[in-house]
Amino acid sequence: MSYSTQSKSVSSLIDEIESNNYFLPAIQREFVWPSGKIESLFDSLLRDYPVGTLLLWDVGKEAVDEFQFYELIRNFDVRERHNTKANLNYRERCIGILDGQQRITSLYIGLLGSYKEKLPRKHKKTFGAYPEKKLYNPSCPLSR
Protein backbone atom coordinates (compact mmCIF):
# COMPACT_ATOMS: atom_id res chain seq x y z
CA MET A 1 0.00 0.00 0.00
CA SER A 2 1.25 3.46 -0.79
CA TYR A 3 0.08 6.96 -0.20
CA SER A 4 0.50 10.32 -1.81
CA THR A 5 -0.19 13.85 -0.74
CA GLN A 6 -1.65 16.40 -3.07
CA SER A 7 -3.55 19.64 -2.86
CA LYS A 8 -6.90 19.97 -4.53
CA SER A 9 -8.98 23.08 -5.03
CA VAL A 10 -12.57 23.16 -3.85
CA SER A 11 -13.62 23.69 -7.47
CA SER A 12 -11.82 20.56 -8.69
CA LEU A 13 -13.25 18.56 -5.78
CA ILE A 14 -16.79 19.62 -6.71
CA ASP A 15 -16.08 18.79 -10.37
CA GLU A 16 -14.98 15.28 -9.34
CA ILE A 17 -18.16 14.81 -7.29
CA GLU A 18 -20.33 16.03 -10.17
CA SER A 19 -18.51 13.60 -12.47
CA ASN A 20 -19.57 10.76 -10.14
CA ASN A 21 -16.05 9.84 -9.07
CA TYR A 22 -16.43 10.21 -5.27
CA PHE A 23 -18.45 7.76 -3.18
CA LEU A 24 -18.91 6.77 0.45
CA PRO A 25 -17.94 3.27 1.57
CA ALA A 26 -20.70 1.53 3.54
CA ILE A 27 -18.60 1.89 6.72
CA GLN A 28 -19.20 5.67 6.75
CA ARG A 29 -21.84 7.18 9.01
CA GLU A 30 -24.64 9.30 7.59
CA PHE A 31 -24.32 13.04 7.09
CA VAL A 32 -25.01 14.69 10.47
CA TRP A 33 -23.75 18.28 10.34
CA PRO A 34 -26.28 20.99 11.27
CA SER A 35 -26.53 24.04 9.02
CA GLY A 36 -24.50 26.15 11.47
CA LYS A 37 -21.54 23.82 11.10
CA ILE A 38 -21.73 24.16 7.29
CA GLU A 39 -21.73 27.95 7.65
CA SER A 40 -18.68 27.72 9.93
CA LEU A 41 -16.84 25.62 7.34
CA PHE A 42 -17.45 28.24 4.65
CA ASP A 43 -16.49 31.00 7.09
CA SER A 44 -13.18 29.20 7.73
CA LEU A 45 -12.56 28.84 3.99
CA LEU A 46 -13.26 32.52 3.35
CA ARG A 47 -10.88 33.48 6.15
CA ASP A 48 -8.25 31.18 4.59
CA TYR A 49 -8.11 28.99 7.71
CA PRO A 50 -7.02 25.38 7.31
CA VAL A 51 -9.98 23.00 7.24
CA GLY A 52 -8.11 19.72 7.63
CA THR A 53 -7.06 16.94 5.36
CA LEU A 54 -9.06 14.30 3.54
CA LEU A 55 -8.34 10.60 3.45
CA LEU A 56 -9.35 9.21 0.07
CA TRP A 57 -9.22 5.63 -1.18
CA ASP A 58 -8.44 5.06 -4.87
CA VAL A 59 -10.58 1.96 -5.39
CA GLY A 60 -9.58 -0.34 -8.25
CA LYS A 61 -11.88 -2.62 -10.24
CA GLU A 62 -11.47 -5.59 -7.89
CA ALA A 63 -12.58 -3.60 -4.82
CA VAL A 64 -15.34 -1.68 -6.62
CA ASP A 65 -17.17 -4.96 -7.07
CA GLU A 66 -16.30 -6.26 -3.60
CA PHE A 67 -17.57 -3.39 -1.41
CA GLN A 68 -20.80 -1.40 -1.12
CA PHE A 69 -20.69 2.34 -1.84
CA TYR A 70 -23.18 5.21 -1.53
CA GLU A 71 -23.62 8.50 -3.39
CA LEU A 72 -23.03 11.86 -1.74
CA ILE A 73 -26.05 13.90 -0.72
CA ARG A 74 -26.59 17.08 -2.73
CA ASN A 75 -29.99 18.12 -1.38
CA PHE A 76 -30.14 17.31 2.32
CA ASP A 77 -33.37 16.94 4.28
CA VAL A 78 -33.18 16.11 8.01
CA ARG A 79 -36.23 13.87 7.57
CA GLU A 80 -34.41 11.70 4.97
CA ARG A 81 -30.81 11.24 6.05
CA HIS A 82 -30.00 8.10 4.05
CA ASN A 83 -27.62 8.19 1.13
CA THR A 84 -28.61 6.51 -2.12
CA LYS A 85 -26.89 3.22 -2.87
CA ALA A 86 -24.39 3.72 -5.71
CA ASN A 87 -24.52 1.61 -8.85
CA LEU A 88 -20.87 1.08 -9.73
CA ASN A 89 -21.37 -1.69 -12.27
CA TYR A 90 -18.92 -1.50 -15.16
CA ARG A 91 -16.71 1.05 -13.40
CA GLU A 92 -12.97 0.60 -13.54
CA ARG A 93 -12.35 2.68 -10.40
CA CYS A 94 -13.81 5.22 -7.99
CA ILE A 95 -12.65 7.34 -5.08
CA GLY A 96 -13.88 6.29 -1.64
CA ILE A 97 -14.04 8.93 1.09
CA LEU A 98 -12.57 7.47 4.28
CA ASP A 99 -12.17 10.71 6.25
CA GLY A 100 -13.65 14.11 5.48
CA GLN A 101 -17.14 13.03 4.42
CA GLN A 102 -18.90 15.66 6.56
CA ARG A 103 -16.74 18.44 5.10
CA ILE A 104 -17.00 17.22 1.49
CA THR A 105 -20.77 16.77 1.73
CA SER A 106 -21.08 20.22 3.32
CA LEU A 107 -19.14 21.80 0.46
CA TYR A 108 -21.33 19.98 -2.06
CA ILE A 109 -24.54 21.08 -0.33
CA GLY A 110 -23.28 24.64 0.14
CA LEU A 111 -22.09 25.18 -3.42
CA LEU A 112 -24.62 23.23 -5.48
CA GLY A 113 -27.34 21.82 -3.24
CA SER A 114 -29.81 22.67 -0.53
CA TYR A 115 -30.48 22.01 3.15
CA LYS A 116 -33.86 21.45 4.78
CA GLU A 117 -34.27 21.54 8.54
CA LYS A 118 -37.22 22.29 10.78
CA LEU A 119 -37.71 25.89 11.81
CA PRO A 120 -37.76 26.52 15.55
CA ARG A 121 -41.21 26.83 17.14
CA LYS A 122 -42.89 25.22 14.10
CA HIS A 123 -44.73 21.93 14.43
CA LYS A 124 -43.21 19.29 12.16
CA LYS A 125 -46.51 18.83 10.31
CA THR A 126 -47.01 22.56 9.70
CA PHE A 127 -46.74 23.69 6.07
CA GLY A 128 -43.41 25.43 5.57
CA ALA A 129 -41.82 23.94 8.70
CA TYR A 130 -38.94 22.61 6.57
CA PRO A 131 -37.93 25.39 4.14
CA GLU A 132 -35.23 24.74 1.56
CA LYS A 133 -32.12 26.84 2.23
CA LYS A 134 -29.33 27.53 -0.26
CA LEU A 135 -25.98 29.08 0.52
CA TYR A 136 -25.37 30.09 -3.09
CA ASN A 137 -27.41 32.23 -5.47
CA PRO A 138 -29.01 29.85 -8.01
CA SER A 139 -29.64 32.69 -10.47
CA CYS A 140 -25.95 33.60 -10.61
CA PRO A 141 -24.45 32.80 -14.04
CA LEU A 142 -21.52 31.05 -12.35
CA SER A 143 -23.84 28.54 -10.62
CA ARG A 144 -24.26 25.23 -12.38
Average pLDDT, the chain: 89
Q: Distance between CA 135 and CA 56 in Å, rounded?
A: 26
Residue 1 has a pLDDT of: 45
Q: Distance between CA 105 and CA 113 in Å, rounded?
A: 10
| Residue 17 near residue 106 (C-beta atoms within 8 A) | no
Tell me: the pLDDT tens digits for 40-91?
999 999 999 988 899 999 999 888 888 999 999 999 999 998 999 999 988 8
Q: Pairing mode, if any, of strands 132-133 and 55-60?
A: unpaired
Tell me: the pLDDT tens digits for 88-99?
988 889 999 999
Half-sphere exposure of 57 (CA within 13 A, CB side): 17
Q: Distance between CA 118 and CA 73 in Å, rounded?
A: 18
Residue 140 has pLDDT above 70, yes or no: no
Best CA proximity match to 77, nearest among 50, 51, 115: 115
Structural domain spans, the chain? 10-133
The Cα-based distances of 111 to 17, 44, 62, 69, 138 in angstroms read 12, 15, 33, 23, 10
Tally Cβ neighbours within 10 Å of residue 14: 18
Amino acid letter for position 63: A
Residue 29 has pLDDT above 50, yes or no: yes
